[in-house]
Amino acid sequence: MDTKKDIDAADAKVTRRDFLYLTTGSFTAVGAGALAWPFISQMNPDASVKALASTEVDLSPIMPGQSITILWRGKPVFVRRRTEEEIAEAQAVEQIDLPDPETDETRVQKPEWLVMVGVCTHLGCIPLGNKGEYNGWFCPCHGSHYDTSGRIRKGPAPKNLEIPNYVFLNDNTIKIG
Amino acid sequence: MSDDYQPQSAVAKWIDKRLPIVTLFSGHLMQFPTPKNLNYWWTFGGILTFCLITQIITGLVLAMHYIADANLAFASVEHIMRDVNYGWLLRYIHATGASMFFIAVYLHMARSLFYGSYKEPRELIWIIGVFIFLLMVATAFMGYVLPWGQMSFWGATVITNLFSAVPFFGEAITNWLWGDYSVSGALLTRFFTLHYLMPFLIFGLVILHIWALHVPGNNNPEGIDVVKGQDTVPFHPHYVVKDVLALVVFMIIFAGFVFFSPNILGHSDNYIQANPLQTPEHIVPEWYFLPFYAILRAIPDKLGGVIAMVSAIAILAFIPWLDSSKVRSCKYRPLYRQFYWILIIDFIVLGYLGAQPATGIYLILGRLATLYYFLHFILVMPLIGYIEKPKPLPKSISEPVLSKEEQLAKSGQMA
Ligand code: HEM
Ligand code: FES
């Protein structure tokens, strides 16, 4: 009787063995995780890719109604000098109509200059300029229509064309990134 | 069995005692008892093994000349085509081989569906098969990126962007996959590495597939259990010869493509070098992905489309439990058989629609076809098992092929 009681009591207690199991187990898990991380992280954009992450653009040759495409971080960036009508059209839109509501004012620093990443927010094709039902951009891949502010109006893309970080260095130069 | 492999020479005995590898192969590839009524639809397993080995051998030699670098890849493929001795042949075999591989795998899967080869006790064979198919899809997709032409680049862009549909982590995941902020050389090198690796993983799965097959043995066109000995013949020479005959016919068609129209299955835009600033007018995947591409485009929502496309393959793994009928072969399932053919036609229609622009009538048809594809598995398969009255199953696999008199004679003999 006595011995059985002792064993029961010992069972209920935390033993040295339990402690060893748990610590060994947790250290192994942490160690495996720490070892796995370099193998996962090596796939992220590396230092050389990050180093190339900003570009300067000269705006002076661009006339109203024209746009240029430059390469930034391997992606095209559209820089468009909008006409008066385009600006008016972009500003007149009712926010409730939009799948991804944003005012034109929040998408530009100077209304004349629209700077955005030319990558369709659906699956990454490059939309074509001066096309589509909203006079903006049209993506031929699966038929997304963007307006003169680069906002998604129709089609499978969920979001407006992305606005990159940029600053006006002076009236004729911007720095993207 | 008396015809089991018996090592004869002293050397063979010595080896066999320590590593019975010849016994293993002889048991599984020669004596293996195989139902005697298998038709030509059963030859695609052998054909698929041939395809895999062909891809591995041609891939290995291509890899000796190919350079996985964004600036050099396209030129290195042209170098293979123009300068390397027989490079054009090796590349055309490899590129056409991928298409032939998919023709064979689709027929092989359609066979398994028709004859109920996914049912108890063969569920795992089927599920391993679904995984093989998934790896094949990944391998072929990554291989198509390697020549770094316009279709390579934009196909890679569209497909890797599918991951950006993941809520919250989408962008982090795509940047991690790319190793950059867009598709670039970093992606090309990792795709080459994986493209090299995956066929060997497929090879491993094929071994598991056959191992699982050799536990219950082959299903057969009647879909009934066979009696070993009475209903079976040794795999060699009976099915080795049948498989080889089918393989020769397959190779003739294969060679026809390689020598007479090696580019008909590809897209001419892939002979233009990748240009990250210009998307081709129409992006179409390789023909063997078109049905799934049509499903992706049928859903007007980005995440929804991705989920539908992935589910279209994933749902296959659940078929053993979605089909409620105990009868395996569609030969004895008069009602389900009709829906089977509707599914096949539906899949072909999806393939056709995947190549058309996703607008107007094509889009509507695409949605209907997608709807049927899923309804077939979720609704038709489970329900028909309860409604349908199957035809009486034969008592043995010999019954349907023997004439009345022969059967009488046989039963007379037995009595
Ligand atoms: C499941 C087996 C395989 C499939 C389905 C497959 C598929 C493909 C496809 C579709 C291409 C693009 C062909 C083109 O348009 O030029 C390709 C290219 C390539 N593959 Fe494979 N492949 C397989 C196995 C392998 C293996 C095992 C290796 C290497 C050991 C390999 C090495 C290459 C190389 C170097 C290229 C680029 C050269 C070229 O474009 O022709 N492949 N593969
Ligand atoms: S990538 Fe632009 S609509 Fe699909």
Contact A124 B177 (CB under 8 A): no
- Rounded Cα distance between A125 and B158, Å, is 7
The confidence band for B411, taking pLDDT boundaries of 50, 70 and 90, is low
pLDDT at B412: 54
pLDDT band per the 50, 70, 90 thresholds, residue B406: low
What is the Cα–Cα distance from B126 to B115, expressed in whole angstroms?
12
Chain B residues whose CB is inside 8 A of the A74 CB are 180-184, 276
Which ligand has an atom closest to residue B201 CA?
Answer: 1
pLDDT tens sequence across B234-282 = 999 999 999 999 999 999 999 999 999 999 988 999 999 999 988 988 8
Residue A45 contacts B, CB cutoff 8 Å: yes
pLDDT digits (tens, 9 = 90+) for B59-83: 999 999 999 999 999 999 999 999 9
Q: Which residues of A does the annotation mark as catalytic?
A: 142
Inter-chain touch B180–A73, beta carbons under 8 Å? yes
Q: Over the stretch A13-65, which tens digit does the pLDDT of each residue have?
A: 889 999 999 999 999 999 999 999 999 999 999 988 887 778 889 999 999 98
The sign of the dihedral angle between the CA atoms of B235, B237, B243, B247 is positive
> Can you tell me whether residue A83 is helix, strand or coil?
coil
Q: Give residues 51 to 70 of A whose Cβ lies within 8 Å of B.
A: 53, 69
What pLDDT was estimated at residue A6? Answer: 60
Identify the H or E element spanning B236: helix B235-260
Atom of ligand 2 nearest to the CA of B161: 1
Q: How large a percentage of chain B has pLDDT more than 70? A: 96
Question: Which atom of ligand 2 lies at the shortest distance from residue A120's CA?
Answer: 2
Work out the mean pLDDT of chain B and round it to a whole number: 93
> What pLDDT shows up at residue B413?
54
Q: Quick one: pLDDT at residue A8? A: 61
Cis peptide before B121 (omega within 30 of 0): yes
Position with higher pLDDT, B315 vs A7 = B315
Q: Per-residue pLDDT for B299 more than 60? A: yes
Look at phi and psi of residue A111 and say left if phi exceeds 0, alpha if psi is from -120 to 50, else beta.
alpha
Give me the half-sphere count of Cα atoms (radius 13 Å) on the Cβ side of residue B201.
Answer: 16
Q: Do A44 and B179 touch (CB under 8 A)?
A: yes
Question: What's the gap in Å between B157 CA and the centre of ligand 2?
Answer: 10
Q: What is the pLDDT of residue B2?
A: 42
Residue for token digits 């992706």? B296
Q: What is the pLDDT of residue A51?
A: 79
Check CB contact under 8 Å for A126 and B278: yes
pLDDT tens for B354-387 read: 999 877 899 899 999 999 999 999 999 999 999 9
Q: Which residue(s) pair with B150 in the sheet?
A: none
Residue A136, helix vs strand vs coil: coil
**Quick check: B276 and A156 CB within 8 A?**
no
pLDDT (tens digit per residue) in B120-179 = 999 999 999 999 999 999 999 999 999 999 999 999 999 999 999 899 999 999 999 999
DSSP sequence for B292-337: HHHHHHHSSSHHHHHHHHHHHHHGGGGHHHH---S---GGG-HHHH
Q: Closest ligand 2 atom, CA of A124?
A: 1
Query: What is the C-alpha separation between B287 and B267, in angstroms, rounded?
Result: 10
Taking the C-alpha atoms of residue B178 and residue A101, their distance in angstroms, rounded to an integer, is 30
Rounded-to-integer distance, Cα B401 and Cα B415, Å: 21
Which of B41, B81, B44 lies closest to B62, judged by CA? Answer: B81
Report the pocket of ligand 1 as residue ranges, CB < 6 Å: B 52, 55-56, 59-60, 62-63, 66, 77, 91, 94-95, 98, 101, 136, 139-140, 143-144, 146-147, 195-196, 199, 202, 266
Q: Does B25 reach chain A within 8 Å, measured CB to CB?
A: no
Instruction: Calculate how far, in angstroms, residue B295's C-alpha sits from the geometric centre of ligand 1.
Output: 26
| Whole-number pLDDT of residue A94 | 82
CA–CA dist A38, B95 (Å, integer):
35
Task: Please tell me which residue, B8 or A142, carries the higher pLDDT value.
Answer: B8
- For every residue of B14-44, DSSP letters joined together read HHHHH-THHHHHHHHHTS-EEETT--GGGGH
> Which of the four pLDDT bands, split at 50, 70 and 90, describes residue B345?
very high
pLDDT classification of B415: cutoffs 50, 70, 90: very low
Tell me which DSSP letter residue B376 carries. Answer: I
The Cα–Cα gap between B28 and B313 comes to 31
Q: How much distance in Å is there from the Cα of B155 to the middle of ligand 2?
A: 12
Low-confidence ranges of chain A (pLDDT < 70): 1-11
Query: What domains can be seen in chain B, in order of their start residue?
Result: 1-31 (no CATH), 40-222+230-283 (1.20.810.10), 297-392 (no CATH)
pLDDT at B143: 97
State the pLDDT at residue A3.
58
Whether residue A69 and residue B277 make contact (CB cut-off 8 A), yes or no, is: yes
Residues of B in contact with A45 (CB under 8 A): 175, 178-181, 186
B113 CA to centre of ligand 2 in angstroms: 35
Q: What is the pLDDT of residue B338?
A: 97
**Among B184, B277, B297, whose Cβ lies nearest the Cβ of A142?**
B297
> Residue A162 and residue A107: Cα distance in Å, rounded?
9
Q: Which of A77, A79, A123 is the best substitution to test chain B (most B C-beta atoms within 10 A)?
A: A123
* Apex A151 CA angle, A146 and A153, nearest 5: 55
Distances (CA, A) of B67 to B22, B92, B107, B185, B193: 40, 18, 34, 11, 12
Confidence of residue B1 (pLDDT cuts 50, 70, 90): very low
Ligand 2 centre to CA of A160 (Å) is 12
List A81's β-bridge partners, or say none: A113
State which residue of chain B sits closest to A155, comparing Cα positions.
B300
